[in-house]
Amino acid sequence: MKKYLKPLAFALMVFGFASCTLTTLEELGPDGIPIDVFQPNTIPPSLGEFETQFHGGEQLAWSAVAFTLAGFEGLQDCRLDDVIIVKADGTYQYDAGGTLCGSEDSEQMRSGTWRIIGNGSNIIFDEGTSREYTAIVNGLEDSTISLSGDYLGLEIKGIYTSQQ
């Protein structure tokens, strides 16, 4: 009887694994952002209101709550500990957190400049430098900002919240 228990246990184990399906803990939308993450889609009506919401009058800390890079999974984990402090004087301090994303993200702390361009639909960071980057503002409301752009031709999107 004992000689049949091992093969039977093995068969049950294989059958059990074969009947399992892979599930994700978070349901993702078509843009790769979890569907339960608020994504603003309106921009404040005036540049003054935009700036006040963006830097809080003096400075405001924005924390990443979602981040996607088209074609790559798992990268968002290294971005979710990022914090950027935006200051009213047009400067920022960036803390890449304890988990860095690689060679392009090799400095934990850095600083630079920012400027809103257009009607609040874009923010240019580090203008005139080798790190210049323009982010598209998809929305800014309820202490949440949605930014997108591209990196090496790949679409990126980030959702950030502030504590006001």
Quick one: pLDDT at residue 124? Answer: 95
Quick one: pLDDT at residue 140? Answer: 95
pTM above 0.95, yes or no: no
Measured in degrees and rounded to the nearest 5, phi and psi for residue 126 equal 55, 45
| pLDDT averaged over 10-residue windows placed end to end, the chain, 164 residues | 44 37 49 66 91 92 85 62 90 82 68 90 94 93 91 85 80
> Under CATH, what is the fold of the domain 47-162?
Lipocalin (2.40.128)
Quick one: pLDDT at residue 16? Answer: 39
Tell me how far apart the alpha carbons of residues 110 and 124 are, in angstroms, rounded to a whole number: 16
Domain ranges of the chain: 47-162
Quick one: pLDDT at residue 115? Answer: 95
Quick one: pLDDT at residue 50? Answer: 92
Close Cβ partners of 40 (under 8 Å, ≥ 6 residues apart): 138, 139, 140, 141, 142, 144, 145, 146
Taking Cα atoms as reference points, which of 151, 2, 144, 153 lies closest to residue 65? 144
Quick one: pLDDT at residue 19? Answer: 35
